[in-house]
Amino acid sequence: MELKPTKPLSGFIELMPTQQRCFDECAKRMRAALAGAGFTHIDLPSIERAEVLTDEDNWDEIETQMFLFQKGDTKMGLRYDGTVGLARYTAGNANGLVFPFRAYQFAKNYRGERPQRGRYREFYQMDLDILGINELSIDYDAEIVAVLSLAYDSIREFVGPTFARVGSRKFWDALFDYLKLPRDSARQAFVLIDKKDKLKDEFEPALKEAVDGAAAKAILSVFSAGYQAFFGKTAALDAAIGELDGFIAKIRAMGVKNADIDLSIMRGHAYYTGIVFEFFLEKFPDLGSVGGGGRYEDLTGKFSKTKIIGVGAAVGFSRMMAALLDEDKINLAPFEAPVDAAVLVLGQGNVLYAMNALAELRRAGIVAVPFLDTDKKLKNQMEFANKIRARFCVIIGEDEAKKKILTLKDMADGTQTEESVPGAIKKIKTKA
């Protein structure tokens, strides 16, 4: 019989146990940070109707970007991010929600595009959003960045410190209006500015080809002389500049010290309408953005006549963690020994007593793993305990079962003592 493949499909992530424990701990900490800031976890379906996921009518065109399928007459697809589902959910439940509504998601998303380094077909993404009906204070933009900064700080010991770069779609819209750029030229300029870091020396000539000389000169001056040089040109520019300066002051007041204005940060051209931001890892700048977001003026326009405004962010959690784990950038030592005690049972007749002791250890909060192939010699069972890096061995044979005690071996120093179950619990916890 021909053996089936053991490797996952391209674009799908599998981690080894120690890596997975690190992944899970970081997810747990970040989620706790969001919950601590009053964000409600919502768990939305991974499958949506095709018309919910896209506005496109041509099935063949969108099939290359999404995982789409059909059951009966219903066309469906796997979600590719958290925003579309959030929009549907908010529109459908608006009467039962309290606004401003604060929600976060931590879920797998799916994209049918060609996988490459840092781009996966299945990945965890963490989304956090604050939503308001008809209006939403600009101060919530600062709140989102401050909370996201707290979430990253919760895993600082593993990924290091972060820094944020802040841009403004309003500034560019106002500047392009001031420069009287035609729509097509403005769009080309948006795309080029968004790719400025990647284009490097090619940015300036590409910009001069896309827009006229005076406009190109003005745009380039934003990065050389600074955006504040345009203060006083138009009311819209003044408002955008004031919003940027005020935003930085607010996030710094909320404890976000490592953030700077960088107007090359653009995010989605057709999506964001105000402040935009991205987070990066200080120690691993080559990884690129590990999260970002901004303000959007009409979240639920496809689903409801009620205007819902939002500000949100997404963390590329799988992309960040997989890259750091694959390249051994995270110290996994804290995750190599998750077991407090290996319970080794010598002889089938001692299983009941061992099970009772195991239950008491677990009730006391001790991570205990039994070895229940009771016919194996103690040497073989100790090898198992070493492989799972247990800190202690609880050995139960015929004598221990008769005396209602256990033999406790400290795997670090090799000392071995006879203990009652409560005594063993105390010793294990003392050395935690």
**DSSP letter at 257?**
-
Q: How confident is the model at residue 116 (pLDDT cuts 50, 70, 90)?
A: confident
The side-by-side arrangement of strands in the sheet containing 122-133 is 40-41, 101-110, 122-133, 308-315, 291-296, 275-281, 162-168, 259-261
| pLDDT digit string, tens, across residues 255-273 | 999 999 999 998 765 678 8
Domain carrying residue 90: 17-326
Last residue of a domain, one of 297, 326, 355: 326
Q: What is the per-residue pLDDT for 322?
A: 94
Question: What integer best gives the mean pLDDT of the chain?
Answer: 93
Percentage, residues of the chain above pLDDT 70: 97
279: left (phi over 0), alpha (psi -120 to 50) or beta: beta
Is it true that the peptide bond before 100 is cis, omega within 30 degrees of 0? yes
Same domain, 383 and 311: no
Q: What is the per-residue pLDDT for 168?
A: 94
Q: What is the per-residue pLDDT for 54?
A: 80
| pLDDT digit string, tens, across residues 155-186 | 999 999 999 999 999 999 999 999 999 999 99
Same domain, 69 and 172: yes
Last residue of a domain, one of 326, 354, 376: 326
Does the pLDDT of residue 61 top 60, yes or no? no
Same domain, 410 and 378: yes
Distance of CA 108 to the CA centre of its chain: 10
Q: What is the per-residue pLDDT for 123?
A: 96
8 A C-beta contact, residue 206 and residue 199: yes
In degrees, rounded to 5, the angle at the alpha carbon of residue 418 between the alpha carbons of residues 414 and 422 is 110
Type and span of the H or E element at 292: strand 291-296
pTM, to two decimals: 0.91
Question: What CATH number is associated with residue 350?
Answer: 3.40.50.800
Same domain, 235 and 366: no
Same domain, 283 and 351: no
Within 10 Å of residue 328's Cβ, how many Cβ atoms?
A: 9
| pLDDT digit string, tens, across residues 332-365 | 999 998 999 999 999 999 999 999 999 999 999 9
Last residue of a domain, one of 301, 326, 351: 326
| pLDDT digit string, tens, across residues 383-425 | 999 999 999 999 999 999 999 999 999 999 999 999 999 999 9
Q: Average pLDDT in the 268-295 region? A: 89
8 A C-beta contact, residue 264 and residue 255: no
In a domain, 239, yes or no: yes
Same domain, 321 and 414: no
What tokens appear for 72 in the block? 């009966």
Nearest CA to 171 out of 189, 159, 147 is that of 189
